[in-house]
Structure 1
Amino acid sequence: MSFARDISVIAGSGAVGEVLREMCDLTNMGFAAVARVTERRWIACHVLDKIEFGLEPGGELEIKTTICDEIRESGQPIFIDCVADAPMWRLHPVPILYGFQSYVSVPLFRADRSFFGTLCAIDPAPHVVDTAEIRAAVDRLAARVVAEIDTELA
């Protein structure tokens, strides 16, 4: 597994940068990223950070301190409008650790159905993100990222 190549290619992609801008605009969130996620690692490949979260491409979080690990295991997206109002999430250690209230993360499956990672967004303020329209738009953004990954990392 060449994480360095994944990071270099994706961090340098204008198309992925545009997806991250659209993700932040769509969700009103201040941080969005494409992360390479494995059983052992969470590595930022491309980042848009308007909230000074502090991650840059190549930055790594301990995998067990991420919700993306749960997405890797389940293969299902997660949309949270407000952590404080969500019984399943309000006491979850990850939002407490990073101080976010709204969260979106969707799995990125390559054309061969292998799991690459996630397209995710966070913000310290709550935002309405769990709507059919936003879910559909985020799915389209994720498909654009996967197309770029499959083209550039083939």
Structure 2
Amino acid sequence: MWDDLSREAVEYGDDNEVRAILNAVCEQTGMGFAAVARVTEDRWIACQVVDKIEFGMKPGDELEIKKTICNEIRQSGEMVVIDRVAEHVDWRTHPVPVLYGFESYVSIPIVLADGQFFGTLCAIDPEPRRLTATATVGVLAGYARRLEEILAGQS
């Protein structure tokens, strides 16, 4: 049973352009899972997902906020991009990649025009991926900015 925040998150994600952006993220990065997540101090809710790796999430599903890197992004406001968790000094011992079994990860904050943190554009894959190239990061950041515009138009 969904509450108001869950319903709102799913409504935000129910957009053809949002789905197209998530598909493009997967195609351009080789990642198998991409999502727009509504992230608050105590909740992580999937607004929309593309799941090619059977991660098992669908719109409206939730993760425990303390078991997400998106929570850290909410706190810092900074994107996180990891090509290969096993080789990254800051992330190889972090419990979240181990918990969910991913080797590559990207998450970019989505901040609305009024400065409110909405959530993240995130993607994961069990295999390493080349994500930290300047051009790739720029494209992904551009997708996050476009999502900000789409979400602002819906509110």
TM-score by length of 1: 0.96
Q: What does 1:81-120 align with in structure 2 at a 5 Å threshold?
A: 81-120=83-122
Partner residue, 1:33: 35
Partner residue, 1:130: 132
Q: Which runs of 5+ in 2 are unaligned?
A: none
Give the match's secondary structure for 1:140: helix
Verify: 1:69 aligned to 2:71, yes or no. Answer: yes
Query: In structure 2, how many angstroms separate the alpha carbons of the residues matched to 1:2 and 1:74?
Result: 26
Give the match's secondary structure for 1:126: coil
Query: In structure 2, how many angstroms separate the alpha carbons of the residues matched to 1:38 and 1:72?
Result: 8
Q: What do the CA deviations read for 1:97-141 (whole angstroms, capped 9, x no partner)?
A: 000000000000001010000000000000000111011101110
Q: Give the letter aligned to residue 78 of structure 2.
A: Q
Query: In structure 1, how many angstroms separate the alpha carbons of the residues matched to 2:7 and 2:149?
Result: 17
* Percentage of matched positions with identical amino acids: 50
* 1:10 Cα deviation after fit: 2.3
Partner residue, 2:142: 140
Query: In structure 2, how many angstroms separate the alpha carbons of the residues matched to 1:12 and 1:142?
Result: 16
TM-score by length of 2: 0.95
Query: In structure 2, how many angstroms separate the alpha carbons of the residues matched to 1:116 and 1:67?
Result: 15
Kindly indicate whether the alpha-carbon contact (under 8 Å) linking 2:6 and 2:45 is maintained by their aligned counterparts in 1: no
* 1:4 Cα deviation after fit: 3.4
* 1:5 Cα deviation after fit: 4.0
Partner residue, 2:45: 43
Query: In structure 2, how many angstroms separate the alpha carbons of the residues matched to 1:152 and 1:55?
Result: 23
Kindly indicate whether the alpha-carbon contact (under 8 Å) linking 2:10 and 2:46 is maintained by their aligned counterparts in 1: no
Query: In structure 1, how many angstroms separate the alpha carbons of the residues matched to 2:106 and 2:126?
Result: 12
Query: In structure 1, how many angstroms separate the alpha carbons of the residues matched to 2:14 and 2:81?
Result: 27
Q: Give the letter aligned to residue 57 of structure 1.
A: P
Query: In structure 2, how many angstroms separate the alpha carbons of the residues matched to 1:140 and 1:128?
Result: 17
Count of matched residue pairs: 153
